[in-house]
């Protein structure tokens, strides 16, 4: 139990510190249920809508311990309205598969230290809070997409759920469009890469062919040069032979002339 509590407190601290960078965090609740629609849920309540939208956009596509974070705007204004009363009294018979929220308890000392750390790291939160006299009574601003629905508190629960569902649907549709764009860009990049690869292969073949051709031409030229040198050597040799023959003939003539004189 001590190890499990230590692990949960580390997780809670990590999430609190991460989310407090986007704005003043009023509440952070972690669900202990195991039912499909509640397992792994973490509810974060910010001071204003701007901070919530920042966190919403920043967490898109992020991973936590190899699990992708799935963020949504939640129609719940007060988490206490969703809590299981029997679980608090220790009388819930459904256990972790109850349809009402079973929250994990966080020690007050940890919460106090995390909030103090948040205000130390971001003193502007406290400054804004002190500047606002009716901070606790002020209703938080809602999603910025609709001006007529800027405050959801005046609507009933059903209407609030519909509005927030519409926001989530808009976000999902935008996400799908972005995914399709990424797919098209990836496809274009692959086509471009394949075209460059083919072009490179053709250029390489052309260069190889030109290199072999130049090599053959060079060999032919060297062979012709060798033949010319041989011809020159043959001509020189013939000239030398002729000179030697002339010398021999002149010697013979001298001997003959001497004999006649004698």
Domain CATH for 92? 3.30.70.330
Quick check: is 64 in a domain?
yes
Quick check: is 261 in a domain?
no
Mean pLDDT of 142-147: 42
Mean pLDDT of 105-124: 88
Mean pLDDT for the chain overall: 80
Mean pLDDT of 75-98: 84
Q: How confident is the model at residue 132 (pLDDT cuts 50, 70, 90)?
A: low
Quick check: is 174 in a domain?
no
Provide the greatest CA pair distance for the chain.
Answer: 162
Residue 131 has pLDDT above 70, yes or no: no
pLDDT at 153: 54
Q: Model-level pTM?
A: 0.50
CB 165 within 8 A of CB 155: no
The number of distinct structural domains making up the chain is 1
Quick check: is 8 in a domain?
yes
Q: Is 20 exposed, middle or buried (0-12, 13-18, 19+ CB in 10 A)?
A: buried
Please state which of the ranges 83-87, 97-101, 214-218, 246-250 shows the lowest mean pLDDT.
Answer: 246-250
Residue 141 has pLDDT above 60, yes or no: no
Mean pLDDT of 176-194: 87
Quick check: is 17 in a domain?
yes
Where is pLDDT greater, at 204 or 233?
233
Q: What percent of the chain has pLDDT over 70?
A: 82
Give residue 77's domain range.
Answer: 2-141
Strand partners, 103: 31
Quick check: is 97 in a domain?
yes
Q: How confident is the model at residue 251 (pLDDT cuts 50, 70, 90)?
A: low
pLDDT at 152: 52
Quick check: is 205 in a domain?
no
Cα-atom radius of gyration of the chain, to the nearest Å? 46
Please state which of the ranges 90-99, 173-182, 243-252 shows the lowest mean pLDDT.
Answer: 243-252
Quick check: is 169 in a domain?
no
Please give the angle made by the CA atoms of 6, 8 and 13, to the nearest 5 degrees. Answer: 95
CB 145 within 8 A of CB 163: no
Show Cβ contacts of residue 92 under 8 Å, excluding neighbours closer than 6 positions.
Answer: 84, 86, 98, 102
* Phi, psi of 94, rounded to the nearest 5 degrees: -80, -15
pLDDT at 223: 86
């Amino acid at each position: 139990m001590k190890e499990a509590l230590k692990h949960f407190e580390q997780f809670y601290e990590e999430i609190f510190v991460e989310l407090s960078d986007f704005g003043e965090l009023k509440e952070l609740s972690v669900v202990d249920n195991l039912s499909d629609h509640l397992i792994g849920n973490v509810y974060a309540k910010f001071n204003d809508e701007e901070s919530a939208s920042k966190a919403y956009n920043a967490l898109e596509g992020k991973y936590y311990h190899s699990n992708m974070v799935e963020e949504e705007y939640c129609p719940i204004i007060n988490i206490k309205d969703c809590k299981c009363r029997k679980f608090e009294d220790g009388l819930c018979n459904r256990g972790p598969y109850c349809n009402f929220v079973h929250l994990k308890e966080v020690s007050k000392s940890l919460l106090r230290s995390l909030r103090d750390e948040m205000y130390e790291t971001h003193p502007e939160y406290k400054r804004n809070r002190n500047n606002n006299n009716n901070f606790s009574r002020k209703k938080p601003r809602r999603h910025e997409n609709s001006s007529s629905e800027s405050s959801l508190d005046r609507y009933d629960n059903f209407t609030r759920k519909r509005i927030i569902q519409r926001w989530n649907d808009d976000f999902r549709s935008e996400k799908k469009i972005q995914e399709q764009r990424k797919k098209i860009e990836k496809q274009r990049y692959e086509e471009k890469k394949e075209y460059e690869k083919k072009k490179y292969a053709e250029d390489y073949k052309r260069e190889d062919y030109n290199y072999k051709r130049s090599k053959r031409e060079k060999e032919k030229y060297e062979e012709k040069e060798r033949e010319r040198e041989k011809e020159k050597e043959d001509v020189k040799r013939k000239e030398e032979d002729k000179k030697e023959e002339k010398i021999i003939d002149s010697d013979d003539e001298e001997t003959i002339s001497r004999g006649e004189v004698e």
